[in-house]
Chain A
């Protein structure tokens, strides 16, 4: 498989009179042809900036980037011919008074130069794939936020691009629709050899769809590899989940003093990250009992979300690059 996307030492600095923000800081990565590649990172990490540079919408301050072998800066029209793009927060970005079908026909024929007959067939085919055929003749303005988002995703692959950039494509979608779209996009990418680059905060989506992931934080690349490799990189391989999110400060401190307990996080439940969960389990149960808490405690595998939190919180972790 050849290289579909190449970034070398990309730097992007946003300069205004008062502030100077480095959005990308010497970022290098490669994405192979036909790969489904996920870009993860906390808000403001630089994911969208990277996608916008690759989609020829933004100019890098320094560095070099190629899409499909074309330089994004010097051969931008060649790049535009082979890419599809759905930006973040773009669910309003179509003509409100036109129907979905009319919108897609305009974008396909006028802006993407697809013959009208082929455009109509493509619209039906893709709408069928994502389960939207019954709403093609509704006005765009009458759609829900999630439906509008879906139209924008459909528009991005309408012209069968070689490389498609989707910036948080499932943000407004309900879980069922998100799953259906994920499945369709993955299948579509495999069948058409399309390279798909997705930015997402949805770890389930990243795990299910992506062949490889990159984690970006503060504009720097922290990790690239498969989702499985990503999870394996979490130093504390074992996790104990305590069925409450309401522990006293004292109890938390006591839990952290236990031998082999490395960290503690709160979400719906409390999670203890340990070197050996089985070994520490009896002591944890004892501490909870002594505090008068009767809550379930179970051993769980670290999730992609755990790995994400680990990498974000341990920001200076060295970059592991796998081609």
Chain B
């Protein structure tokens, strides 16, 4: 039976081949990432620096938002990458072949999410580097290290949610509107673009259940020196607990929804 590592590196190989096949597009995607990073500097002029300083303890809105955008990219990949892949496989009929092969469905989803996250990272490294450059005054080696660990952990938790969404595709076939609904909620409730501290208490409670809230706050804290929304230790514990809980939920969801989809047949949208 194929192991997850093999599924992962073959998915990376497949994705790299696919995205580098159209060279001009590939080059411009990387250039756009730089451009977007620098474009944010203009955006920052319009923001109330004093408000940001009071809320998060930093006036560097450019770095604040670039980290948010980088997370949005990983969030997109982790949450929806696999679901989109399944929708593609359903519409071409490839799901039939895929699901007649002997491997764990959960690891197939997880490996593909990891491969897509790696691909997204490639495009967002330039933008992320711009953010790191702009935060050079507060940046330390330990800060970068902890920021990366927090990012990896957050992507891992989001991938579990991604596995649940991918399984939903097996059952409900067309799930674009469900994605849009949750995507918007995830962006608004996690402090991605506006400080988490500005949210009403009720929405903050929902936000605490989402891995991006802790992940992004930890990265901003370690990289930019912002004030955390709660004790840093609790945030780390929260992320690890979310990883455990969401992994269990994801494995059960994949198993249940595959069984359920088999009642009607997996094929075609």
A113 within 8 A of B: yes
Which residues of A are found within 8 Å of B100, using beta-carbon distances?
A: 55-57, 80, 83, 85
When the two chains form their complex, are residues A94 and B94 in contact, meaning their CB atoms are under 8 A apart?
yes
Give the A-binding residues of B (Cβ under 8 A): 1-2, 6-7, 10-11, 13-14, 17-18, 21, 89, 92-94, 96-103, 259, 262-267
Chain A 143-158 interface mask (CB, 8 Å, partner B; 1/0) = 0000000001001100
Shortest Cβ distance from B30 into chain A, in angstroms?
18
Sample of 6 A–B contacts (CB below 8 Å): A52-B265, A85-B97, A85-B100, A106-B13, A110-B7, A111-B101
In angstroms, Cα B13 to Cα A7, docked, is: 40
Shortest Cβ distance from B57 into chain A, in angstroms?
46
In angstroms, Cα B95 to Cα A94, docked, is: 10
In angstroms, Cα B100 to Cα A90, docked, is: 13
A77 within 8 A of B: yes
When the two chains form their complex, are residues A113 and B92 in contact, meaning their CB atoms are under 8 A apart?
no
A136 within 8 A of B: no
When the two chains form their complex, are residues B99 and A111 in contact, meaning their CB atoms are under 8 A apart?
no
Give the B-binding residues of A (Cβ under 8 A): 14, 52, 55-59, 77-78, 80-81, 83, 85-87, 89-90, 92-95, 97-98, 102, 106-107, 109-113, 152, 155-156
In angstroms, Cα B2 to Cα A112, docked, is: 6
A57 in contact with B99 given A89-B93, A109-B10 (CB within 8 Å):
yes
Which residues of B are found within 8 Å of A97, using beta-carbon distances?
A: 17-18, 21
When the two chains form their complex, are residues B93 and A102 in contact, meaning their CB atoms are under 8 A apart?
no
Contact pick for A155, options B97, B259, B262, B264, CB 8 Å: B97
When the two chains form their complex, are residues B18 and A95 in contact, meaning their CB atoms are under 8 A apart?
yes
Shortest Cβ distance from B43 into chain A, in angstroms?
34
Which residues of B are found within 8 Å of A106, using beta-carbon distances?
A: 10, 13-14
Is the contact region of chain B dominated by helix, strand, or loop, or is it mixed?
Answer: helix
Which residues of A are found within 8 Å of B2, using beta-carbon distances?
A: 110-113
When the two chains form their complex, are residues A107 and B97 in contact, meaning their CB atoms are under 8 A apart?
yes
Which residues of A are found within 8 Å of B7, using beta-carbon distances?
A: 110-111
In angstroms, Cα B5 to Cα A113, docked, is: 11
In angstroms, Cα B99 to Cα A107, docked, is: 12
When the two chains form their complex, are residues B97 and A87 in contact, meaning their CB atoms are under 8 A apart?
yes
Which residues of A are found within 8 Å of B89, using beta-carbon distances?
A: 93
Contact pick for A90, options B96, B102, B262, B266, CB 8 Å: B96
When the two chains form their complex, are residues A90 and B97 in contact, meaning their CB atoms are under 8 A apart?
yes
Give the residue name and chain of the B residue nearest to A112 (CB). Answer: B101
Shortest Cβ distance from A172 into chain B, in angstroms?
13
When the two chains form their complex, are residues A98 and B97 in contact, meaning their CB atoms are under 8 A apart?
no
Shortest Cβ distance from A276 into chain B, in angstroms?
48
When the two chains form their complex, are residues B11 and A110 in contact, meaning their CB atoms are under 8 A apart?
yes
Give the residue name and chain of the B residue nearest to A86 (CB). Answer: B97
Give the residue name and chain of the A residue nearest to B94 (CB). Answer: A93
Apart from A81-B102, A113-B1, list 17 A-B contacts with CB within 8 A.
A55-B96, A56-B99, A58-B265, A80-B101, A85-B96, A87-B93, A89-B93, A92-B93, A93-B92, A93-B94, A95-B18, A102-B14, A102-B17, A109-B10, A111-B101, A112-B2, A155-B97
When the two chains form their complex, are residues A93 and B97 in contact, meaning their CB atoms are under 8 A apart?
yes
In angstroms, Cα B267 to Cα A87, docked, is: 10
Which residues of B are found within 8 Å of A111, using beta-carbon distances?
A: 2, 7, 98, 101, 103
In angstroms, Cα B16 to Cα A102, docked, is: 12
In angstroms, Cα B21 to Cα A52, docked, is: 35
Which residues of B are found within 8 Å of A92, using beta-carbon distances?
A: 92-94
Contact pick for B263, options A59, A87, A94, CB 8 Å: A59
Give the residue name and chain of the B residue nearest to A103 (CB). Answer: B14
Contact pick for A110, options B6, B94, B262, B263, CB 8 Å: B6
When the two chains form their complex, are residues B265 and A57 in contact, meaning their CB atoms are under 8 A apart?
yes
Which residues of A are found within 8 Å of B11, using beta-carbon distances?
A: 110
Give the residue name and chain of the A residue nearest to B266 (CB). Answer: A57
In angstroms, Cα B71 to Cα A303, docked, is: 66
Give the residue name and chain of the A residue nearest to B19 (CB). Answer: A97
Which residues of A are found within 8 Å of B263, using beta-carbon distances?
A: 59
In angstroms, Cα B100 to Cα A152, docked, is: 13
Which residues of B are found within 8 Å of A95, using beta-carbon distances?
A: 14, 18
